Amino acid sequence: MIMPSIESKIVDVARNATFSHPLTRRSFFAAMGAAGIALGAVACGAGGSSTSTAAGGGAGAGKVQEKTLCQVTTLSNDYFVAFSDGGKQAMDALGVSMSSVEDQGNVNTALGQVGNVRASGGKSIFGTPATEAQAAAVTKACQAAGILYASSYTAPAWYTPADADKWVRFITPPSTKIAVATAKALFDKVGGSGTIIHVPGQKGSSSDDQRTAGLNAAAKDYPGIKIVTASPGNWTSEDARKAFTNILPSVPDFVGVFAQNDSQAAGVIAALDAAKITGKIVVGFDGNKQNVEYIAQGKQYLTSATVGGLTAGILGVTIFDQLNGVDLSLPERFLSQGALLVTPEIADDVLKTVYAPTLPFDWAKMSKALHPDDWDPQTVLNPIDPREYYAGVSQDQYTLNSAWNSADITGVRTEYASAFRSGPLLQYKDQLVA
């Protein structure tokens, strides 16, 4: 019998063990990285990257199966870990080799990674840029290099895939709309009055700006709510823990916390535990599995789950389809992804039906190349009308491309709504915010 190596046992622990605290998980990953042990898509190995082992075969056998790159900010953030892992699962299912890299939100690092793809003959990248500046820079670099690019969450206002034909898809949850709903749920839970500590995300990020806008819009209807803002949490548990801990002495009396994502909410919960503070209502965004577990345990009240691995999988499948001759119309390339507001009432069920170790989505069926007549996105994907989405935002740096004047947004909305017929999110179809 072949005995498993120490490294393989450690990888198994990283993938499957239950960590009592997000910082414990992060410390574990950091120690393993320092030891030079690669943890696949769970954490980064040497050089800040991890690699899928898929190479041919799978549901994509007989089709073009070009390797691809998944670009994330940091694998110290559970959302990005889930994003990378979901992308890997989708690409494995299609028989496509995928590597993941961290860019640390640094534009030059991200551009260097685009250059590496070009130098190696690669044809595609998908990912989730940290800032609008990075999103624009990577999109333009991919356009110049002839590399297909699919991205999520962040892009400059009025800059759309109509401006770059190699930018094949952009997906984002409707962050402002979700933030309004999340903030109102928080305000109602605390009785409509009291101080809320707001822990923002990363400056320069579209989703950060939109979540803050949603919070402030909701607060207009709650005159008894006071909002005090901490330093940015930069999307990570540790930075959020520090920001929240630092503001506590100046806010001795508060009723809840509006954390700009779930990793930050985890950092806030860690700080509350350390200070032995109880009874505070914490909300977050993104639907990290650990935070859904917190909701089931009563440590967190609400999150909006888009399922980061699903987002990545959709982007990866988009790249696969493009390389196999699928042409998407403009409205299909600029999409809002449905988000499920997870409350204590449904948290256990969501954990059972959506957050299995292997994501319960049929990746091949998402592909128009593999299922031209019965493809199914398995979530709500709602084409965005940029004139509505960016209403009130000045067209200073970018102006709306005239191609949108003839785009059939309504027709694509109808097509995509009817295409969603299966998957674990179908039971929540009417509850998804998009």
How far, CA to CA in Å, does 4 sit from each of 9, 10, 12, 65, 419?
7, 10, 10, 31, 44
Same domain, 118 and 223: no
283 belongs to a structural domain: yes
Same domain, 296 and 332: no
Same domain, 407 and 374: yes
The band of 45, judged by pLDDT with boundaries at 50, 70 and 90, is very low
Instruction: Report phi then psi at 6, rounded to 5.
Output: -60, -40
349 belongs to a structural domain: no
Same domain, 185 and 167: no
31 belongs to a structural domain: no
Lookup result for tokens 């499957």: 16
Same domain, 314 and 427: yes
Same domain, 283 and 323: no
| Residues 412 and 172 sit within 8 Å (Cβ to Cβ) | no
Same domain, 185 and 242: yes
CA dihedral in degrees (26, 28, 32, 35; nearest 10)?
110
Same domain, 375 and 326: yes
* Predicted local distance difference test score (pLDDT) of residue 49: 53
From CA 74, how far away is CA 119, in angstroms rounded? 23
The domain boundary residue, chosen from 289, 305, 321: 305
The domain boundary residue, chosen from 259, 288, 305: 305
**Residue 410: pLDDT over 70:** yes
Question: What single string gives the DSSP state of each residue in 37-58?
Answer: ---GGGS--GGGEEE----S-S
* Predicted local distance difference test score (pLDDT) of residue 198: 98
Higher pLDDT, 72 or 76: 72
| Residues 245 and 172 sit within 8 Å (Cβ to Cβ) | no
Query: What CATH number did the domain enclosing 126 receive?
Result: 3.40.50.2300
In tens, the pLDDT along 184-216 reads 999 999 999 999 999 999 998 888 999 999 999
The band of 434, judged by pLDDT with boundaries at 50, 70 and 90, is confident
In tens, the pLDDT along 89-112 reads 999 999 999 999 999 999 999 999
**Residue 427: pLDDT over 50:** yes
* Predicted local distance difference test score (pLDDT) of residue 21: 47
The band of 27, judged by pLDDT with boundaries at 50, 70 and 90, is very low
Residue type, 140: K
90 belongs to a structural domain: yes
Residue of 41, 152, 151 lying closest to 97 (CA atoms): 41
**Residue 129: pLDDT over 50:** yes
Same domain, 191 and 254: yes
Mean pLDDT of 135-140: 98
Task: Please tell me the least confidently modeled range out of 22-26, 246-250, 322-326, 411-415.
Answer: 22-26
The domain boundary residue, chosen from 280, 305, 330: 305
Same domain, 160 and 240: no
Same domain, 205 and 241: yes
354 belongs to a structural domain: no
From CA 201, how far away is CA 400, in angstroms rounded? 27
131 belongs to a structural domain: yes
* Predicted local distance difference test score (pLDDT) of residue 160: 98
399 belongs to a structural domain: yes
Domain count within the chain: 2
Longest dimension (CA), the chain: 68
| Residues 43 and 11 sit within 8 Å (Cβ to Cβ) | no
Residue of 337, 338, 317, 339 lying closest to 328 (CA atoms): 317
DSSP β-bridge partners for residue 336:
172, 382
212 belongs to a structural domain: yes
- Beta strand 334-337 with 281-283 is unpaired
* Predicted local distance difference test score (pLDDT) of residue 76: 83
* Predicted local distance difference test score (pLDDT) of residue 145: 98
Same domain, 278 and 366: no
**Residue 376: pLDDT over 90:** yes
Fill in the DSSP letter of residue 253.
S
Instruction: Report phi then psi at 172, rounded to 5.
Output: -150, 145
Residue 163 domain boundaries: 68-173+307-338+359-433
From CA 355, how far away is CA 308, in angstroms rounded? 11
pTM score of the predicted model: 0.80
